[in-house]
Amino acid sequence: MEYPTVRPVYPEEFWRDVYFLNMANQPHERWMKWIWEIADVHRLQDDFDFFDTDHYTVTTREEHSGHATETIVNGLVCGALLLLNDGRDDDFDEVSTVASSWWIYDKYPLYFEARIKMPDALQSEFWLGLCSASTYYSGVPDDVIIFKKDDGDRNIDFYCKNFNVFELVDTGIDLADYTWIRLGCYWDGAGGMKWFIYQDGDDPRVLLAAGTIANRNAFCQLSPFFFGFGVKNGAAAAKGLYIDYYKIAMKRYSILGGYDMPLM
């Protein structure tokens, strides 16, 4: 078997790095750690072969009760979740984790990634990432670290907000209708917040754009986050968002004797 190596343009491998996980240099040992070792990394992922509402919080604004749906797309290879709104302008459908168990904390790197597409990228909105509340569209939370797209344009933005301090980055990447794209964000545990957008495809993937958040005050380190995503209508017609998968991981956090220490 050929084992993956850490390459700087593939941030999903940063959190697997030997210095991050404090593990042996043997490639096969590193590989097994990446896959199985829960003691080192808090992780969550969903490939959406099924959707269990007990594991998520769903928030909707809909003209008719029950008309916003979250369904697994039948027959789609590898599975995907479709959020589909009711037909009124500004209706929305959001999904978030039940627990706010993710932190931006020094010495504790975090990475999240997702693969998404939209049927109508122009007349709809989406968000995906970390929020201090389980909903974004019901009222913008105090703290967010998200990718988002606004109604009336196709451009993907990366947005960090820490109460009344924020930074909004135009990624320069437009979202085309029915076109898969992959979004990634990496907190390095030492002040660096990076974002990445990949062209969809097999490894090695094409990096379309990447950047950093220059203002460290724009992201909160005092609040736990939910991970979630949502779609909002930009016109009086039902709009949707497909999520093929997401994954999120951070170095496991513990407190021992009053000192912040990694669990090794």
* Structure confidence by residue, pLDDT tens digits, 15-53: 444 334 333 344 444 444 454 467 778 889 999 999 998
Q: Is residue 16 part of a domain?
A: no
Q: Is residue 9 part of a domain?
A: no
pLDDT score, position 203: 61
pLDDT, tens only, 56-106: 999 999 877 778 999 999 888 889 999 999 999 999 999 999 999 999 988
Cβ pair 217, 165 in contact under 8 A:
yes
Work out the widest C-alpha separation in the chain, in whole angstroms.
Answer: 57
pLDDT score, position 220: 84
pLDDT score, position 189: 85
For the cut 50, the answer to whether the pLDDT of residue 207 exceeds it is yes
Q: Is residue 5 part of a domain?
A: no
Give residue 213's pLDDT band: very low, low, confident or very high (50, 70, 90).
very high
pLDDT score, position 125: 96
Give residue 174's pLDDT band: very low, low, confident or very high (50, 70, 90).
very high
Number of domains in the chain: 1
Q: Which residue has the higher pLDDT, 186 or 14?
A: 186
Q: Is residue 219 part of a domain?
A: yes
Give residue 202's pLDDT band: very low, low, confident or very high (50, 70, 90).
low
Q: Is residue 98 part of a domain?
A: yes
pLDDT score, position 253: 75
Mean per-residue pLDDT over the chain, rounded: 82
Find the domain containing 84 and state its range.
44-262
CA 22 to CA 4: how far, in whole Å? 17
Backbone angles phi, psi at 20, to 5 degrees: -70, -45
Residue 158 sits in a domain of what CATH number?
2.60.120.200
| Identity at 37, one-letter amino acid code | E
Q: Is residue 15 part of a domain?
A: no
Q: What DSSP string describes 155-182? A: EEEEEEEETTEEEEEEEEEEPPTT--EE
Q: Which residue has the higher pLDDT, 200 or 260?
A: 200
For the cut 50, the answer to whether the pLDDT of residue 228 exceeds it is yes
Question: What is the rounded average pLDDT of the residues 115-124?
Answer: 95
Q: Which residue has the higher pLDDT, 167 or 205?
A: 167
Q: Which residue has the higher pLDDT, 5 or 99?
A: 99
pLDDT score, position 18: 35
Question: What is the rounded average pLDDT of the residues 235-243?
Answer: 95
Cα distances from 86 to residues 57, 83, 119, 240, 257, in angstroms, run 18, 10, 15, 10, 52
pTM value is 0.83
Question: What is the rounded average pLDDT of the residues 1-25?
Answer: 41
Q: Which residue has the higher pLDDT, 147 or 39?
A: 147
Q: Is residue 22 part of a domain?
A: no
Q: Is residue 10 part of a domain?
A: no
Host H or E run for residue 2: none
pLDDT score, position 254: 67
pLDDT score, position 204: 62
